[in-house]
Amino acid sequence: MRFGFSHKTYRLPLPAPLRTAHGRWTEREGIMVRLEDEAGRVGYGEIAPIPWFGTETLAEAAEICLKFGDKAEGALLDEVPERFGCVRFALAQARAALGQCDIDDTGGKRLPVAALLPAGREAVALLRSKLAGGFLAFKWKVGVGDPADELGVLDDLLAHLPAHAKLRLDANGAWTRLLAERWLARCAERPIEFVEQPVAPAEEDTLRGLAADYPVKLALDESVVRLAEARRWQAQGWPGIFVIKPVLAGPLDELARWISDTKADVVLSSAIETALGRAAVLRAALSQPLTKRALGFGVGEIFGDRRWDGPVIGPLADASCLADNSGEEMWRNLKPET
């Protein structure tokens, strides 16, 4: 089948920059793609790369889009190489939307959501606020400040955490082995759901050793940007969790098949995409048994603009999070490519 193809780039400031071990994230860049089939049906998809995380660059994604021109055969869309996971996600999303009706296929399902806590001491106040709002799962960014200070904040967070709540720590690969051991020893026998990416992706032997030596569950994130990387770690016997950012990993149907076939222990997590990409992931999670853990989509209204943030996500995600997600309004608010 032949499709009409067009794309537009977006650049959205983050009013409250996100601090991680990779540095300060001040704006989100990406590309929206639009497909139109021979029957005139339209579908939209979002390309949301994070180059410093290990994806293709925005320039590489834009080059692929330009090569498609204004018409593209379905076979050509299928030939995008696996390393361009963000492009492949968006194209699959747009094609799936062509045949998607507005019928609610979630069956009334609701899934818990983990709230993102900022780096540093600000996390304590936000934890209290989010607990009051009904959240019971939290993810805290570490590896950003002085380790002694952060360990003190950890104690404060756990002092405020109810027995039925869970805390995740995300180091974004910032720790050395010695520092990771210090943190994992501190976390042992405490209500830590898991520690995410304690050391850099290249330190594969260290990751395996830490997973074997400490009782705290470890999770891979930067190590499994694309689905192929998750498959490799799984084949090698990784005993921990896979934090997958679906908009980076590739087509959603491929991810869903892998989870279903292998029963992988997966957390589905945001890549700070807009409501367009997020809605596709949440629809998949709500309509299929993809995870038994809280969704990592409690990032708040990160763009400060409902056009891009979409519906507010609270402690439970349900079909209401999918409202107004066709992409048509977003597309109209973006300038054409020149």
User: And the tokens for 223?
Assistant: 């190590």
Dihedral sign of CA atoms 291, 198, 211, 181 in order: negative
Phi then psi for residue 167, to 5 deg, are -125, 130
Which of these is catalytic: 8, 130, 139, 141?
141
Active site residue 139: no
Phi-psi region of 177 (alpha: psi -120 to 50; beta: other; left: phi over 0): alpha
Quick one: tokens of 317?
């995600």
State both tokens at 102.
Answer: 């507005």
Helix axes 85-98, 275-287, angle to 10 degrees: 70
d(CA 261, CA 274): 29
141 in active site: yes
Question: Catalytic pick from 8, 245, 263, 335?
Answer: 245
Distance CA 51, CA 228 (A): 17
Beta bridge partners, 73, equal 2
Q: Are strands 192-196 and 166-170 parallel, antiparallel or unpaired?
A: parallel
Catalytic residue list: 141, 245
